């Protein structure tokens, strides 16, 4: 009873303590604001999508978004961090309500946004000394959840000189897909790809596509991008100026038919100015209360629309290709030719642990093999891995170039070097000397034949019997039959029992992963573009060897079932 009676006394004291704490947070020491920094906001916005081709699959939808539009220097300095970590820059996303961190944007690594942009723009001939203020629009993480974040736009302005406002120097469109990959398109006012914009926009560009965003579209064709300048010259003289952003994107087929269009527009609600203080805390929390599921539901909305397009509109799926590489133009689903170098690949998923283990074992074996044959082995990767060079300078050098993210797993699961060479083109790999490759990766004269070896070879055989079943063409005579006991280069005494057991594990999980995909698609009744399924890779290789065109796609780049 006494504690109950004391409640009216404790409540005012508690509220007073909370008020004092908030006052300290608001008035206490904080990072100094950047001089002439661009204003930063939490921006309610609307995204709209519409599919036009094929006509039988027309579809449209829109949904609300919450974007952070921030000056990157103010963000990096901590000026935009709000009390109670309502908004916080850097660190783990799990200990803040809304957050941004440099690791999730542009290239991998913990460099600042500005440092990463300087490197990217340097590739396009823009010196870092010209870079002034940068305004970034993106979807933040929410309570530790980092969504797909389809589009981040970077507005880079010229450095202010002699009191003049910096004009727009470049716009970088950073695009992410659901596979953990990202890609940038850098647009400049003096670009030869610039043209008259649509009404209500400041800039218009038509740029070649080179990134796999949607499984319902090929990678060829173009983007027609219309965009406004959020800080036009003279904006500082406009009383109560509030920037806004608007991006209008149309996806064109190679013959310039509009397949798809999307818009991202700030509003209709007013943006919320971010300033370190309780008002900004209240504004942000109010916005999250008004749109509680907006940031969480981006993936769910995307998946639902994918369901509609695939099962109701009967659109086939394009398999995920490796990011743009030197092999892209010669395989199914090529990228559009990018003569200006507008598109640049950024991030990609890390190499799997199975592939890392496979690389360790294969390199251990290849070191001994190179010494045995007096051959030097060089493997160059297009997925960011360091190149491999084994053996001393010998009489011959075997050069391998690959963009295959599962290169070493594929080496281990193919029954013979001849099988690997037959599939090399399909797996983004080129070999300088096929005969030397066959010699280097041939089975040992005295192979290990214990249960590990027998089990591993049984899985290889089972996997390739399955691949063979999808092809109407027999393997050429140069490829050894897989019936019976076909030994593998990894059955060598160069590898210990436990290293060969690692090979068994790698082969098993690679086989399981390929089969799991087929099982899931069969269960869900999903359908890839006919002939481009993962499990028909051997058939494509055989048809290609007989001169058939296995890479052709419909001109619209979207295929109905």
| 27-76 confidence digits (pLDDT tens) | 444 555 556 789 999 999 999 999 999 988 899 999 999 999 999 999 99
Take residue 295 and report the two structure tokens written for it. 């940031």
pLDDT at residue 15 tops 60: no
Reference 287, options 97, 81, 83; nearest CA is: 97
Q: What pTM, to 2 d.p., does this model score?
A: 0.89
Q: Is the pLDDT of residue 21 over 60?
A: no
- Predicted local distance difference test score (pLDDT) of residue 30: 52
In the structure, what pLDDT confidence band is assigned to residue 343 with cuts at 50, 70 and 90? very high
DSSP, collapsed to helix, strand or coil, labels residue 155 as strand
Predicted pLDDT of residue 523: 95
* Predicted local distance difference test score (pLDDT) of residue 417: 97
Q: Write down the residue that tokens 């990678």 correspond to.
A: 219
Q: What percent of the chain has pLDDT over 90?
A: 70
State mean pLDDT over 502-518: 95
Phi first, then psi, for residue 551 (nearest 5°) are -110, 0
Q: What is the pLDDT of residue 65?
A: 92
Nearest-angstrom CA–CA distance, 56 and 79: 51
More confidently predicted of 155 and 159: 155
CB 67 within 8 Å of CB 294: no
Q: What is the mean pLDDT of residues 476-498?
A: 91
Question: Taking 80 as the threshold, does the pLDDT of residue 551 lie above it?
Answer: no
Return the residue matching tokens 């406009």.
238
Q: What is the mean pLDDT of residues 265-272?
A: 91
Query: What pLDDT is recorded for position 430?
Result: 97
Are 343 and 184 in contact, with CB atoms under 8 Å apart? Answer: yes
Contacts of 520 (CB under 8 A, 6+ apart): 526
Question: pLDDT of 204-221, one tens digit each?
Answer: 999 999 999 999 999 999
Average confidence (pLDDT) over 432-454: 94
pLDDT category at 361 given cuts 50, 70, 90 is very high
Report the pLDDT value the prediction gives residue 161, as an integer from 0 to 100.
78
Question: How would you label 466-505 residue by residue, b for 16+ Cβ within 10 Å and e otherwise?
Answer: ebeeebeeebeeebeebeeebbbbbbbebbeeebbebbbe
| Residue position matching structure tokens 């690389």 | 359
Calpha distance 67→45 (Å, rounded):
7
Confidence at 557, pLDDT banded by 50, 70, 90: low
* Confidence at residue 271, expressed as pLDDT on a 0 to 100 scale: 94
Residues 536/538/540/545 CA torsion (nearest 10 deg): -170
Is 90 exceeded by the pLDDT of residue 25? no
Tokens of 489: 């280069």
Using an 8 Å Cβ cutoff, are 375 and 353 in contact?
A: no
Q: Give the list of residues 6+ apart from residue 554 with CB closer than 8 angstroms, or none.
A: none
Whether 165 shows a pLDDT value over 80: the answer reads no
- Between strands 375-381 and 396-402, the pairing is parallel
CA-based torsion, 147, 148, 150, 152: positive or negative? positive
Q: Where are the alpha helices (DSSP H) in 414-496?
A: 417-423, 434-440, 451-468
Give dist(CA 217, CA 177) in Å, integer. Answer: 13
Distance CA 463, CA 510 (A): 10
Query: What is the pLDDT, as a whole number, of residue 1?
Result: 44
């Amino acid at each position: 009873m006494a504690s109950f009676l004391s409640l009216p006394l404790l409540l005012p004291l508690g509220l007073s303590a909370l008020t004092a704490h908030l006052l300290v947070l608001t008035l206490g020491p904080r990072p100094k604001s950047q001089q002439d920094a661009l204003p930063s906001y939490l921006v309610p916005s609307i995204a709209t999508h519409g599919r036009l081709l094929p006509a039988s699959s027309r579809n449209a939808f829109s949904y609300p978004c919450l974007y952070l539009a921030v000056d990157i220097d103010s963000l990096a300095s901590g000026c935009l961090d709000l009390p109670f970590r309502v908004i916080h820059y850097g660190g783990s996303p799990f200990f803040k309500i809304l957050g941004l961190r440099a690791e999730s944007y542009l290239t991998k690594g913990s460099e600042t946004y500005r440092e990463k942009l300087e490197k990217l723009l340097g590739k396009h001939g823009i010196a870092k000394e010209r870079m002034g203020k940068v305004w970034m629009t993106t979807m933040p993480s929410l309570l530790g959840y980092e969504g797909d974040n389809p589009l981040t736009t970077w507005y880079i302005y010229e450095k202010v000189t002699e009191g003049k406002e910096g004009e727009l120097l470049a716009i970088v469109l950073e695009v992410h897909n659901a596979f953990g990959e990202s890609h940038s398109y850098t647009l400049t006012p003096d670009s030869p790809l610039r043209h008259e914009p649509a009404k209500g926009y400041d800039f218009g560009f038509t740029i070649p596509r080179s990134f796999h965003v949607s499984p319902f579209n090929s990678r060829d064709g173009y983007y027609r991008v219309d965009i406004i300048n959020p800080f036009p010259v003279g904006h500082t003289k406009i009383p109560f100026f509030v920037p806004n952003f608007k991006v209008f994107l149309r996806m064109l087929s190679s013959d310039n038919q509009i397949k798809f269009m999307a818009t991202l527009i700030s509003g209709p609600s007013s943006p919320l100015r971010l300033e370190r203080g309780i008002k900004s805390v209240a504004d942000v929390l109010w916005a999250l209360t008004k749109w509680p599921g907006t940031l969480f539901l981006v993936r769910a909305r995307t998946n639902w629309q994918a369901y509609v397009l695939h099962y109701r509109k009967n659109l086939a799926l394009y398999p995920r290709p490796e990011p743009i590489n030197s092999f892209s133009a010669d395989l199914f689903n090529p990228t559009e030719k990018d003569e200006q170098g507008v598109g640049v690949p950024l991030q990609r998923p890390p190499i799997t642990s199975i592939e890392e283990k496979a690389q360790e074992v294969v390199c251990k074996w290849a070191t001994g093999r190179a010494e045995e044959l007096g051959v030097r082995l060089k493997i160059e990767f297009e997925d960011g891995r360091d190149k491999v060079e084994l053996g001393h300078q010998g009489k011959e050098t075997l050069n391998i170039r690959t963009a295959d993210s599962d290169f070493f797993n594929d080496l281990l699961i193919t029954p013979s070097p001849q099988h690997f060479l037959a599939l090399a083109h399909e797996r983004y790999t080129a070999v300088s000397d096929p005969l030397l490759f066959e010699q280097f990766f041939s089975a040992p004269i005295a192979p290990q034949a214990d249960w590990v070896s027998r089990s591993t070879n049984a899985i290889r055989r089972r996997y390739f019997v399955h691949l063979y079943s999808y092809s109407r063409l027999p393997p050429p005579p140069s490829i050894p039959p897989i019936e019976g006991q076909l030994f593998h280069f990894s059955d060598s005494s160069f590898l210990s029992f436990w290293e060969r057991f690692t090979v068994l594990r790698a082969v098993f999980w690679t086989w399981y992963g390929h089969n799991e995909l087929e099982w899931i698609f069969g269960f869900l009744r999903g359908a890839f573009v006919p002939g481009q399924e993962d499990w028909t890779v051997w058939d494509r290789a055989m048809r290609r060897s007989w001169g058939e065109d296995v890479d052709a796609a419909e001109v619209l780049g979207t295929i109905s079932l």
